[in-house]
Structure 1
């Protein structure tokens, strides 16, 4: 076959043993591909639209095929039965529109390469059937999105037919793949405590923290954390032990984090307002032997765990030297973050130190002139706090600690104005609220980052029109990859957007869009998002099975995290988020597994079964709804009261409906639309 491939095309080559390709003549070969092209192409068209093949059969050896979109009326649907694929043969080709209007033309050649110069809507498939093997070569124009869909489809179909694809393809233009390799941050192989010491040497007298009108310098922060680290050593913990924190927002909160890391351990942020049973599970699961706390903590004597009282820590004067644990490396754990789990129990993400360093050092997603000043507003058990605290602290900036229990727009504005805060991260829900309010907070900030949920087109458009001097970036990233993985700076609103892109990889991060066989799909084709790089977590604590399912090596032994998110890479190289493969929910910035809520409800004595849905048609009124089928008399109030003892506040359903049965559709699956009309709230 000819090897003449011009610079605008790539070649897909596939070989199988001739005996596997049961086509003895030209006509049967054509029928094989006619049936192949009939195989569910809608997945590769990034829509739910039904796509059918259109054929011209040429006795000279070339077949022409166009893909026709049923929903857009490329052919007469009153004449053709949607399910009657076999009727769409060469004999019926005259009933279709002209091939010149086809979204895709396939030149189907046997025995030799045609040597055609491909246009944007043309694809060539050459088939050479030899005595030993059959060789397929697909040529696609690099600018041709339908052709890229065909490539992915063709590959998947051959696997569907059971043909060996071990030597499947070669791409002449590697930029067509849905892979984004983030630049290297150039971070040194130090741990967090060592990097902080370098910052102290450079910015010792500068302000590091501000809280409740008071400031703490880098040198003071270093001294207090040294003293506390020395106290932690008195408990003779094993290296890399997990030390829990139950401290309200304060100087002591961040001093404690630093001290734990300096002593060679990892910190576990706790929310003491969680149900007691959940806290007990977390403390037992993590093997916590020491808690750092203050006098108003509920955990001081609750579980019989040793604790250090931090109430008088700041009364100490003078410098205190401490030798940082030299055994800590970038691969050592930095903190543990418990997230919702599908098994009904929360799972613990072990975030390594290189994850935090990669998030904060020499990054490309935050564009601020001068020192970074952030407002630490997120709960420290929420992974956004990693950015709010460590980005300024490890770069000589200022972390302003929010000083109220609840978030008040007026107080946020006062702190931003008083201390010249120049950058903040908001959940998408909070960002939308501020946009709706026309809040001057967004005008005061140089750079606004938002994420945690899918971006709202409406709110982003309003924000770009009103807050023209503020940089706005859509952020994407799971806890398992240390908070942020991709960023998209929204310089201006594009009317053609159907979704706001989540952009390109931040430094120290690689993004992949893969099919179910872990092959990189072309740009424009839907796949699952995988994340690689130095910021991928060590795994899940005490959960080897789940760790092996989510963290593994692919593509030349690169370690990745399987997100469960669907997406595609557009032709400008930006990632588009398209939802979940499973039932996981992102609501008000929290990650929620429906299975964990259902397990909690189903554990109640009088409950037969339950189902959780998300209801509401926009970002403001989205809520969790529970539909419960009891086996005895049970009220919604009783259910809410009992599960409040098992689940954190953000997982308690906003609506609880008692139903007599769960409606199903004709396929035997739960009918969500009918379900929403049942039950008493």
Structure 2
């Protein structure tokens, strides 16, 4: 329905059972009604007619209320983890043209020149808060999520209410959540697994459980939180599942594990699949969380030890195309192209070149060319191969290798640079930066310090190799085969 939005979908759940538990953290538990009123309390403080509001908060019930508050005002939220480098946060806020930021006092220095709404833990709920006048359709933006970009700057993906509701409908159809379910909120707010955790819970009647930062640092503490709070569903990166796979015992409440963000290998879940239902999923942020599901507990890994990414979710189609935009025969590798209501509006700002990935299929539907390569298996499931460009996955997060290279070259300390993606003996990706410094006196510590101001920690290359010059081939391009080999032996994730 054109009138349906995230907010009125949640409010329907409030009307159904206002007293039902909606969200809780280590400090506080909120019913659906209390969560709605806390969102109203925050919304009443937001500037009228604002279109985009930044959110820089610790993970808490107040963070969830802040997100709903922005949506209630008809605006889009722009989520940023406070641990991100300051320059990166500043760029995102400026690029998204945010008009205010909801944050805590301790994070104000991160956004000095932007109006701030301060929300601290333990926020008092106002029973009759007055919301600013606002209107919202399901075609309105819900959020802007930043991903790694080829130009050296992250790019913001614009996702609508309709995109989110399309995905929630597919999630509900596949996983059949109900009021007996509790979803763990484990992901960072700037990744689309967070969208799955939060909105799948709020709009399906599930409870949302938010562990502390300390809980997330230790698998034993995390599983105790899961056990104590009877959590039934966890969505996370393959490496979280890999940790759980090594445990002698799982919390008995768990019924569903969803893996996303990177390749899922059978060795990561070979013990889990006999104890709990495990899904592998696939889908870029540009297509709203997921575009394909595969039930690993009912299926089998491929010959290379990886699981297929499955079949398109409800309301979505996936076609495999060649470079000319023609569908390839079954079993032939090609680019994974996604069609359906989950395809977002594209990238904000002056991103004409990048937005060429969004086009219309011959049947008139909006399509996203993912840049990922895959092929269709005989049973109709899709197998993922790898990126067709330089984008890789590190710790479950997408990294554009060329972005890292561009930031290096923009430092003023590097004359030449070549950042190469590598894979270790456990099939995990890492990066090696080959650099030619402008001045021999420049210390590698200075270079790393610069990168840490502009890149999140997983984007900083693990290895640096200093050279007097980069080897070139006959075409004048870097001869990557002539670069010194740097190999690592993987340790447990």
TM more than 0.5: yes
Cα distance in 1 for residues equivalent to 2:369 and 2:155: 15
From 507, 511, 515, give the equivalent of 2:322: 515
- Give 1:490's aligned residue: 296
- Give 1:237's aligned residue: 49
- Give 1:458's aligned residue: 267
Compared with structure 1, are the counterparts of its residues 495 and 378 closer, same or farther at alpha carbon in structure 2 (3 Å cutoff)?
A: closer
Cα distance in 1 for residues equivalent to 2:455 and 2:49: 31
- Give 2:282's aligned residue: 476
- Give 2:231's aligned residue: 421
Max radius of gyration: which structure? 1
Q: Does 1:542 align with 2:354?
A: no
Compared with structure 1, are the counterparts of its residues 606 and 469 closer, same or farther at alpha carbon in structure 2 (3 Å cutoff)?
A: closer
Q: Does 1:192 align with 2:6?
A: yes
Conserved in 1, the CA contact under 8 Å of 2:177 and 2:204? Answer: no
Compared with structure 1, are the counterparts of its residues 246 and 451 closer, same or farther at alpha carbon in structure 2 (3 Å cutoff)?
A: same
From 461, 464, 471, give the equivalent of 1:663: 471
Compared with structure 1, are the counterparts of its residues 562 and 442 closer, same or farther at alpha carbon in structure 2 (3 Å cutoff)?
A: farther
Q: Does 1:361 align with 2:173?
A: no
Q: Does 1:304 align with 2:110?
A: no
Compared with structure 1, are the counterparts of its residues 333 and 313 closer, same or farther at alpha carbon in structure 2 (3 Å cutoff)?
A: farther
Q: Does 1:636 align with 2:477?
A: no
Conserved in 1, the CA contact under 8 Å of 2:179 and 2:205? Answer: no
- Give 1:280's aligned residue: 90
Conserved in 2, the CA contact under 8 Å of 1:246 and 1:292? Answer: yes
- Give 2:66's aligned residue: 256
Cα distance in 1 for residues equivalent to 2:142 and 2:248: 36
* Cα displacement (A) at 1:220: 0.4
Q: Deviations 1:191-250 (Å, cap 9, x if unpaired)?
A: 111111101001211000111153100000111112222222xx2334xx1100111011
- Give 1:393's aligned residue: 202
- Give 2:38's aligned residue: 224
Cα distance in 2 for residues equivalent to 1:204 and 1:324: 24
Write the mapping of 1:5-16 to structure 2, written as runs, cut at 5 A.
none
- Give 1:560's aligned residue: 367
Compared with structure 1, are the counterparts of its residues 446 and 521 closer, same or farther at alpha carbon in structure 2 (3 Å cutoff)?
A: same
Cα distance in 1 for residues equivalent to 2:5 and 2:313: 20
From 332, 353, 357, give the equivalent of 2:140: 332
Q: Secondary structure at the match of 2:335?
A: strand
Cα distance in 2 for residues equivalent to 1:611 and 1:439: 43
Cα distance in 2 for residues equivalent to 1:635 and 1:666: 32
Compared with structure 1, are the counterparts of its residues 657 and 379 closer, same or farther at alpha carbon in structure 2 (3 Å cutoff)?
A: same
* Cα displacement (A) at 1:444: 4.7
- Give 1:177's aligned residue: none
- Give 2:257's aligned residue: 448
TM-score normalised to structure 1 length:
0.67
- Give 1:318's aligned residue: 127
RMSD: 2.4
Q: Does 1:593 align with 2:407?
A: no
* Cα displacement (A) at 1:501: 0.7
Q: Does 1:438 align with 2:250?
A: no
- Give 1:402's aligned residue: 211
Long gaps (5+) in structure 2: 488-493
Conserved in 2, the CA contact under 8 Å of 1:246 and 1:299? Answer: no
Cα distance in 2 for residues equivalent to 1:639 and 1:292: 33
TM-score normalised to structure 2 length:
0.91
Conserved in 2, the CA contact under 8 Å of 1:293 and 1:307? Answer: yes
Conserved in 2, the CA contact under 8 Å of 1:448 and 1:473? Answer: yes
* Cα displacement (A) at 1:584: 0.6
